[in-house]
A = this chain, B = another copy of it.
Amino acid sequence: MHIAIIGAAGMIGRKLTTRLVADGRLAGQAINRLSLVDVITPAAPEGFTGRVETSAVDVSAPGQAARIVASRPDVVFHLAAIVSGEAELDFEKGYGINLEGTRALLEAIRAAHLQDGYRPCFVFTSSIAVFGAPFPEVIPDDFNLTPLTSYGTQKAMGELLLADYTRRGFIDGIGIRLPTICIRPGKPNKAASGFFSGIVREPLAGQEATLPVPETVRHWHASPRSAVGFLVHAASIDLQPLGARRSLTMPGVSATVGEQIEALRKIAGEKVVSLIRREPDELVMKIVSGWPQAFEAERAKELGFVADASFEDIIRVHIEDELGGQL
């Protein structure tokens, strides 16, 4: 089996590559070839005995998507995206990569399909950013997509393309609406959602973290490990039962900030928790108030997608995967 990962240099892309190499198989077939693509050349994974190509490709640039499709990967994971904050700041770049890049990739596959019947499994990472307030406390699977950011708009448009290209027989597509990834490893960033990870990650590293919202704020989380699990599962199951509705809200952990902090206290103790500094920020509060709190995610659960069991588990995953298993 030949797998292409577009956006392989990103956090999820790297973890997905590692997971696939460790598994050695996908959907019951041995993986013998990996095509790893990003705007910067991704690192080749260690310990993989099959063929690996790594390349720097901007999928939205003319002719570039065809380069990826030329080798006819059986599965395409499309993770490449301009993230929410940047797509909001740079309107043209966001539409360029998130809409035009996705369309260019799908068009290159369609051209290949018309040539020789090529029809890959296509796993598209969408996001809960396709939803925007007002909504019910628990959002059902058939709720309308009313994004409040350009990023969410572009992801929702990608979902529509995915469904239509699947219906037309060009791909066997599935869209995965990822929860907010928590705890995101690495440095703090300026994203409005950054504090959800920061108030756990920084204290665990012995550093202060800022909490800009009240503890009553509720949000929808999944660990990086779960996110990778969703992607692998998406490429492993029969997609026929999805029918025409090809994008699924993933299960997750609905937790208030207070519950996050309580989970951190249980695992790491009061001293770690005391590193969280309350610093209310009206702007962040306003942004976050438009975000979803919880989803039913019934369809995804029925299809076997499994989330972290609790926020404590999310913290444990971080400790295992990022901190070498100990505090």
Interface residues of A (CB under 8 A from B): 91, 110, 132, 135, 141-148, 150, 153, 156-157, 160-161, 163-164, 167-168, 244-245
Assess the A153–B164 pair: CB atoms within 8 A. yes
Shortest beta-carbon distance, A287 to chain B, in Å?
13
B163 touches A160 (CB 8 A): no
Residues of B near A135 (CB, < 8 A) are 142
* Chain B residues positioned under 8 Å from A164 (CB to CB): 147, 150, 153
Cβ contact within 8 Å between A145 and B147 = no
With A132-B244, A142-B143, A168-B91 already in contact, the answer to whether A156 and B160 are too (CB < 8 A) is: yes
Contacts of A143 in B (CB 8 A): 142-144
Complex formed: what's the CA distance from A62 to B123 in Å?
32
CB atoms of B167 and A148 under 8 A apart: yes
Give bound CA distance, A163 to B144, whole Å: 13
Task: Give the shortest distance, in Å, between A242 (CB) and chain B (any CB).
Answer: 11
Q: How many copies altogether?
A: 2
Query: Nearest chain B CB to A124's CB is how many angstroms away?
Result: 15
What are 8 A-B residue pairs whose CB atoms fall within 8 Å in the complex? A135-B142, A143-B143, A144-B144, A144-B145, A144-B245, A147-B163, A153-B161, A157-B160
A100: nearest chain-B partner, CB-CB: B103
Residues of B within 8 A of A161 (CB): 153, 157
- Say whether A245 contacts B146, CB under 8 Å: yes
A110 neighbours in B (Cβ, 8 Å): 91
Q: Is the CB of B160 within 8 A of A147?
A: yes
A163 to B163, CA, bound (A): 21
Taken together as a complex, chains A and B put the C-alpha atoms of A168 and B94 apart, in Å, by 13
Cα distance, A153 to B166, chains bound together (Å): 12
Cα–Cα distance between A236 and B163 once the two chains are bound (Å): 35
If the complex has contacts A144-B143, A144-B144, A145-B144, are A150 and B168 also in contact, measured as CB distance less than 8 A?
Answer: yes
Closest 5 pairs between A and B when the two form their complex, measured CB to CB: A153-B164, A144-B144, A142-B144, A153-B160, A157-B157
Which chain B residue lies CB-closest to A153?
B164
- A144: chain B residues at CB < 8 Å are 141-145, 245
Compute how far the CA of A161 lies from the CA of B157 in the bound complex, rounded to whole angstroms. Answer: 9
Which chain B positions have C-beta within 8 A of A141? 144
CB-CB under 8 A from A160, the residues of chain B are 145, 147, 153, 156-157, 160
B168 engages A146 (CB within 8 Å): no
Q: A153 contacts B148, CB within 8 Å?
A: no
Looking at the assembled complex, report how far the CB atom of A166 sits from the nearest CB atom of chain B, in whole angstroms. 11
Bound-complex Cα distance A168 to B146 (A): 15
Distance to closest chain B CB from A163 (angstroms): 7
Nearest-neighbour CB distance to chain B for A151, whole angstroms, equals 10
